[in-house]
Amino acid sequence: MNFEDPRFVAAAWANVAEPGDVWAGALREQLGSAEALKWASDQFVPLPENVEAPGGQRGKGAAPGWRAAYKRWQPRFYDLDVERDMEQLQKLGGRLVIPGDDEWPDQFADLEFRVPPALWVLGRGRLTSNVEPSVSIVGARSATSYGVRVSSEIAFDLAEAGITVVSGGAYGIDAAAHRGALDASTEKRRRLAKTGEGMVQTHPSTVAVVCGGLANLYPQGNENLFRRIAEENGVIVAEVPPRFRPARWRFLERNRLIAAWADVTVVPEAGLRSGALAPANRALE
C-alpha cells in the first residue's frame, strides 16, 4: 500500500468503495484520502469523536454505521492490486484523473460526500471544467424515431455552439446524443479544413459516463460508438477500475455524475416510470 501517492490512494478507494458510498466520502473528506484508507485497511479501531457520520452523528451514535462500512470495505482489500489496474488502464490507452488535476470537473463539489475518488478516462478529448458549458441529454433506451432525431439535432446544435454533450452511452436517446455531438465536431473540422483554419478545442464534444469499467463497456452493441467517441475528441469516463463489470446499482449511481457534470439536464423522451428520469431527479437535487 502506497499511502504517499495520491493517485494510488484514489485508485485504491475506487476499488474498495462502491460509487456513491457516502460513508467513504465522509471519511475521505474529514481524514483525507490517505488517512481514511489507512483506517479502512487496518484492524478496526473506533474513529475519533469529532469524525461525523454522513447523517451528522458522532461517537456512539455513529459507531454502528462506521463498523458496517468497515466490514463492507474489508473484503475488497483481499483483491486490491492498483498496479494491475493501472497497467490495464495504460494498455487501453486511458488515464486516471483525480481531484486537484487540471481535468477534474469542479462541478462535482455539488455531490458532497458522493464525489468519486477518481475518474478512469479514455479518449483524446480533455475533460470539461466548470468554466466550459455542458448539457446532459438522457432518455429512453427504447426511443421512437422522433425522439432519436430530436435528440441528435439538439446535441448537434449544442456541440456546434461549443457546448459539451454529456450522456450515458446507452441505446436510444443516449446514443443519438453522442452521435449528434460527434457529427457536429466532424462537420466543424471539415469546414475549417476547407478554409485552412485549424480547430482549437480544449473541451470534448461529448462525454459518455459508463457504469462499468473501461474494459467492460456496456452495452456491447454500442462498441463502434464508444470507439468513435474515444477517437474523435470525445471521452469515456468510468468511476470504477477497468476490470469492473456493469451492475444495476452502478447504473443508478452514475446518474449523479451525469446530472452534476452539466449546467442543464435534458430528457427529450422517456416513459413515466422510465429509469432515464433518474438523472433529471438527481439534477433537481
pLDDT in tens, the chain (285 residues): 899 999 999 999 999 999 999 999 999 999 999 999 999 999 999 999 999 999 999 999 999 999 999 999 999 999 999 999 999 999 999 999 999 999 999 999 999 999 999 999 999 888 865 667 899 999 999 999 999 999 999 999 999 999 999 999 999 999 999 999 999 998 887 887 777 665 556 679 999 999 999 999 999 999 999 999 999 989 999 999 999 999 988 888 999 999 999 999 999 999 888 888 888 999 998
d(CA 65, CA 275): 29
The CA distances from residue 93 to 36, 90, 104, 153, 227, in Å, are: 30, 5, 18, 31, 12
Q: HEC profile for the chain?
A: CCCCCHHHHHHHHHHHCCCCCHHHHHHHHHHCHHHHHHHHHCCCCCCCCCCCCCCCCCHHHCHHHHHHHHHHHHHHHHCCCHHHHHHHHHHHCCEEECCCCCCCCHHHHHHHHHCCCCEEEECCCCCCCCCCCEEEECCCCCCCHHHHHHHHHHHHHHHHCCCEEEECCCCCHHHHHHHHHHHHHHHHHHHHHHHCCCCCCCCCCEEEECCCCCCCCCCHHHHHHHHHHHHCCEEEEECCCCCCCCCHHHHHHHHHHHHHHCCEEECCCCCCCCHHHHHHHHHHC
User: pLDDT value at position 200?
Assistant: 55
d(CA 31, CA 107): 22
d(CA 108, CA 134): 13
